[in-house]
Chain A
Amino acid sequence: MHQGNSRQDDHRQRGHPSLEEDPYEVLELKPGAGPTEIEEAYHRLMAIFDPSAPGISALYTLEEIRRMRAKIERAYHHLLAQAKGSKGDALPLNPNKGTLPPEEVEDIKARLGRLGGRALREIRERLGLSLQEVASVIKVTKGTLENLEGERFDRLPAWVYVKGFLRAYAKFLGVDPQEVIKAFEEVRRQ
């Protein structure tokens, strides 16, 4: 077992260019892929290299599948961190969809009276983002997002977590997280 591993590692270190562990190649992505694409590719590849996937056992040993999954995992975390890092923390993570102009956000806020769940939903829909797309980037389930937008506190976890979700969601949509949290806090107190 141990010997087998060291033989593999030995090969890897001396590896040749086309077989190098290029994270884009591992996830079958083109450089510049956005977080949503990275997320989708990751799930697709993990399903393909599942030990129970059809036919896979004809080519790979269980150990090789395990190694392949670790490789996919590494590539995924690397690319995701890169995609987030290069955009800077203050900027939204959805570069393709951009953000709404400030006056449009003000408009929604004025109409609804506050920057709460309904406002978040409206902004999301105007940006053409599905719940799934948001969910996969900010690492919150679709159900949780729906509950956030519906302000259903009875179906959400403790407030400290909710605050975290709201911060991520607000940032993602390009609106002020503090204002969103404040709006939710007021409802929660009632």
Chain B
Amino acid sequence: MAVLISIGGGKGGSGKSFLALNLGVALAERGREVILLDADLGGANLHTLLGIPFPSVTLEDFLNGFLPLAETAMETSVRGLKLISGTLARLSAKLKYDQKRRLFRNLRGLQADYIIVDLGAGIGPSTLDLFILADRGLLLLTPESTAVENAYRFLRGVYFRCLRSVATERRIRRAVEEVIEGLDPGSTPWDLLKKIEDMDGNTASKFRGVMHSLRPYLVLNQLRTRDERALGFSVKTVCKKYFGIDLSYIGYVPFDPKVSFAVARGRPFLWEYPDTETSRCIREIADRMTTDREVTLP
């Protein structure tokens, strides 16, 4: 069965589509079958990065029931890499409940080694659910404090959404909702989990199990200095201490102004500039992913 990876992180412009495409290319270069799914509902542009201005089929065809999901995956210029284009004319970034369920069920039926889902910005429910559903979420951020903030908020959203999904008992659900709705400000995950433990130990341990299995990947993008690589370890520490979530820091990508040239030509950066540090780092991410290793600095 395919490994499902969802790339998110909250902030727009952090390079989610860029990474989705080039990571896909790097995995395809290693002989893996890859399907990219553009799930940036309302802001889709993976097709543009691949030089396809008007995709003939899109995710919308599946959502409307015209085509099976597998048939919306088009061949691209990259051998071994297929694309399910995002919907072009969509105004709402929200999926209807049954559309979401159908999408999630069918995603698991796709034939590939890797399915890479490019999530949009923000912490909308569909975005969070696609992150949680994945075998591995990939949290992407740039070193700006605004991007780090959004990444933390994104994880906070993931955390509470997971918690809500395992909380079936009414009073526990209410306690979780109160925190989500901001009615219990200043309540940390730690406080909430403690409270739930007192109410129902079973739910608490079930939840801990879910969080333990989450293990999202962490990737830093657009680094301007080598020192900025260390930020990955800091984010890892904070997430462990605050949420109890173990991030797996699998790579960093240096900033390269040539990225915009590759975008303009509608060709993967990895092909246009294969010998740059940036391309090398993306390949390293693919390697760490396939061998389950993390970044280590001397």
Q: Which residues of A contact B (CB under 8 A)?
A: 4, 11, 14-16, 18-19, 28, 44-45, 47-48, 53-61, 64, 68
B172-205 with Cβ < 8 A to chain A: 186, 188, 190-191, 194, 197
Q: Is the CB of A54 within 8 A of B231?
A: yes
B147-169 with Cβ < 8 A to chain A: 147-153, 156
**Complex formed: what's the CA distance from A47 to B240 in Å?**
16
Question: Smallest Cβ distance from B273 to chain A, in angstroms?
Answer: 29
Assuming the contacts A48-B234, A48-B238, asked whether A58 and B153 have C-beta atoms less than 8 A apart, the reply is yes
User: Interface code B205-247, partner A: CB below 8 Å = 1, 0 otherwise?
Assistant: 0000000000000000000000000010111011011101000
Q: Is the CB of A64 within 8 A of B188?
A: yes
**Chain B interface residue count, Cβ-Cβ cutoff 8 angstroms:** 27
A-B contact count (CB 8 A): 52
- Please name 17 pairs of A and B residues whose Cβ atoms are closer than 8 Å in the assembled complex, sorted by A: A11-B194, A16-B197, A28-B237, A44-B237, A45-B237, A48-B237, A54-B143, A54-B149, A55-B147, A55-B149, A55-B235, A55-B238, A58-B152, A58-B153, A59-B156, A59-B188, A61-B186
Closest to A53 in B: B234
Question: Smallest Cβ distance from A3 to chain B, in angstroms?
Answer: 12
Closest to A55 in B: B148
Q: Is the CB of A55 within 8 A of B242?
A: no
Q: Which residues of B contact A (CB under 8 A)?
A: 143-145, 147-153, 156, 186, 188, 190-191, 194, 197, 231, 233-235, 237-238, 240-242, 244
Find the residue from B148, B156, B191, B197 having the highest chain A CB count within 10 A: B148
Set of chain A residues within 8 Å of B235, measured between Cβ atoms? 55
Set of chain B residues within 8 Å of A58, measured between Cβ atoms? 148-150, 152-153, 156
Given contacts A54-B231, A55-B147, 18 further A-B contacts (CB under 8 A): A4-B186, A11-B190, A11-B191, A11-B194, A14-B194, A16-B194, A16-B197, A18-B244, A19-B194, A48-B234, A48-B237, A54-B144, A54-B145, A54-B149, A55-B145, A55-B152, A58-B149, A58-B153
